[in-house]
Structure 1
């Protein structure tokens, strides 16, 4: 029985910041951002969007009423969750009107959370072939204004429907993974901003890739020549390229050119959204599938997931016949084309405009936000969510 990705959706806020203009304002050469780390635009989340609404909006575009009744498991991967007790997935479950007889949980391991969700979903469907599982990866990356990590911020979500006999990608059996207790990136519960040891994190990302890749080759008997493309978790788009460069000497120049060309295509969406943590790998995969129109069914796609702290995994999928018919290309093209640019000053104001953490009530103007699902405020220490389509 094939198990894999049946549908995939993506959502980002309607605001963005041009990285060239941020560089000028920060007295940095623009090429350091656009070439050095490979970022062009950063999605900026207004106060009316949080990880819950981003995820719900991403799922809204792909789920039919039939899907909502068949889903019996919702898995929300995030590292910027809004509550230390209640799962962010429960809010999404309600906002979308999913079958009440479903499990709903939140999974946390830095940027690896959505991958953990997919692997959990595979096991669930193997035991329950008629089930469908909604896996969400949603985050708002915050490092702080004028910090070293500012240029690698972003906001967005990816939603995936995992099922038997998937229409987009069947996930293969072999998967290799590893864990090591390191402090390359972390966010204590008392902080709304992350801490990172950038150089160490880069080194560990590459080291984990090398180790799980070698283990994968040994376990599967496959090599670089068997892949049409390899997509990576992208805290910034230059990061995956650094990891792939470590295996260029394994095969022919033709293999190198193919993987390199397809990797570049896979970074397009990420270059224009920024870091979305748990959803970054799957945004990269989506960029490849939607923008490379001649990508053939039957192609094997490698997927490298990394979550600081740290857990890494390499696994693969095979594209199904007519997979392009199940993609939301037009919707995502419209999403990017209708976004509004903000100035650096406006971005800084939005960044500092946060929900109260002292129990105060707040009512927000959601009419300025074109998204269907928004945060409408806080009352009695509870976030108030609105689905405008209801």
Structure 2
């Protein structure tokens, strides 16, 4: 009998600050209503200079590790395209910060926004194989944008981290391992050629996204070995969200696939509102979710008010520039909603500090001076002592100092 494998627990960390999208639009001379409706982003996450992909990952994982003996973790995989070192994986920093034991396999994965699912897949296979010897895997996706002040890309930036426990006790989502479709190609759509640059062609990226979605879905149907009615097979659909608005275009693509008569926009919108929008409620508060997209969508679906039932099948589509698409599915479990709601993700988001456009610009420029800087200490006094108010005594991991490139982290 095959082993049940999937997500046992999940948590999302949305950083400690945010920027209102409408206020940014006004500052840039754009129509605020159109900006929000086009991208489906209300606010975007923003990091203070003492947070990076390591701190975000650890802060997401700390809560998901509550009630779990560190000795139970046998594997730690971290997916990111925003690593702080080209050799040393951030999984080692996180392992040390969380106090995990030494007899653990740990490494970092990279494939643009696919990195999170690229981290999850081997953990799932490891547990399913039985070679885990009863251990669980801790999988984390963590990323944030680079500085894009006063550019057209500025409205689709963000940052977040997602942490999950993968085990043979999938109390949140059981993954259907025999149903997984993939599609790959060699393309330059969006990429990061240096530690500072984040560049690409948005139009090429959009077409590649749709090609990968359709191609991986076709492969999924082949793997399932049966005819699939897209509208009836899945209760909810979660898409990769470099910005939430792209999910509508993706959903339209699959709804109209193989139809002789294409659906009207009103019909597509109704189905989108019912089966996709519930999974976008957190990404609308984050902005770009990078490799965390599928996991942010799952957490949003289960922490919201949409009706979910045990046994509901959901689809998930992951995409990574360069490029790869993966379409897969899972079954919601009896306690899935309670487990996610107990993480109090929305309540944590509510505690974030709103930054003005001027503060946002200052923070982004300051963060840039730290990149590949051999020696610096983050300025903890900025933003009206935001550190003291939001971090001090709260037990959050922060970057304390970089000295001769050695990074020192500590719990606040």
Q: Same fold (TM over 0.5)?
A: yes
Q: Which of 323, 329, 339 is equivalent to 1:326?
A: 339
Distance 1:305 1:67, change over 3 A: farther
Query: Which blocks of at least 5 consecutive residues in structure 2 are unaligned?
Result: 381-386
Distance, in Å, in 2 between the alignment partners of 1:175 and 1:217 is: 9
1:367 matched to 2:388? The reply is yes
Q: Which of 284, 299, 305 is equivalent to 2:297?
A: 284
Which deviations, in whole Å up to 9, do the C-alpha atoms of 1:215-239 show, x marking residues without a partner?
A: 2123212331110011011011111
SS at 1:353 equivalent = helix
Which deviations, in whole Å up to 9, do the C-alpha atoms of 1:169-215 show, x marking residues without a partner?
A: 100021011211100001113x4130020011011111111111122
Residue correspondences, number: 387
Match of 2:383 in 1: none
Match of 2:59 in 1: 57
Distance 1:247 1:360, change over 3 A: closer
Match of 1:134 in 2: 138
Once the two structures are TM-superposed, the CA of residue 262 in structure 1 deviates from its matched residue by 2.6
1:177 matched to 2:190? The reply is no
1:386 matched to 2:410? The reply is yes
Q: Contact 1:33/1:40 (CA < 8 Å) preserved in 2?
A: no
TM-score normalised by length of structure 2 = 0.89
Distance, in Å, in 2 between the alignment partners of 1:184 and 1:329 is: 38
Once the two structures are TM-superposed, the CA of residue 76 in structure 1 deviates from its matched residue by 0.4
Distance, in Å, in 2 between the alignment partners of 1:37 and 1:107 is: 28
Q: Contact 1:13/1:156 (CA < 8 Å) preserved in 2?
A: yes
Q: Which of 155, 159, 174 is equivalent to 2:163?
A: 159
TM-score normalised by length of structure 1 = 0.94
Distance 1:67 1:265, change over 3 A: same
Q: Which of 223, 228, 246 is equivalent to 2:253?
A: 246
Match of 2:213 in 1: 209
Match of 2:152 in 1: 148
Distance, in Å, in 1 between the alignment partners of 2:95 and 2:162 is: 15
Distance, in Å, in 1 between the alignment partners of 2:312 and 2:389 is: 42
Match of 2:202 in 1: 198
CA RMSD across the alignment: 2.0
SS at 1:165 equivalent = coil
Q: Which of 219, 223, 237 is equivalent to 2:229?
A: 223
Once the two structures are TM-superposed, the CA of residue 325 in structure 1 deviates from its matched residue by 2.5
Distance 1:249 1:310, change over 3 A: closer
Structure 1, 252-261 or 1-10: larger mean CA deviation: 252-261
Q: Contact 1:88/1:106 (CA < 8 Å) preserved in 2?
A: yes
Structure-to-structure mapping, 1:299-378, within 5 angstroms:
299-329=312-342, 331-354=344-367, 355=370, 357-362=372-377, 364-365=379-380, 366-367=387-388, 369-370=390-391, 372-378=396-402
Match of 1:97 in 2: 99
Match of 2:192 in 1: 187
Structure 1, 243-252 or 336-345: larger mean CA deviation: 243-252
SS at 2:152 equivalent = coil
Q: Which of 73, 76, 83 is equivalent to 2:78?
A: 76
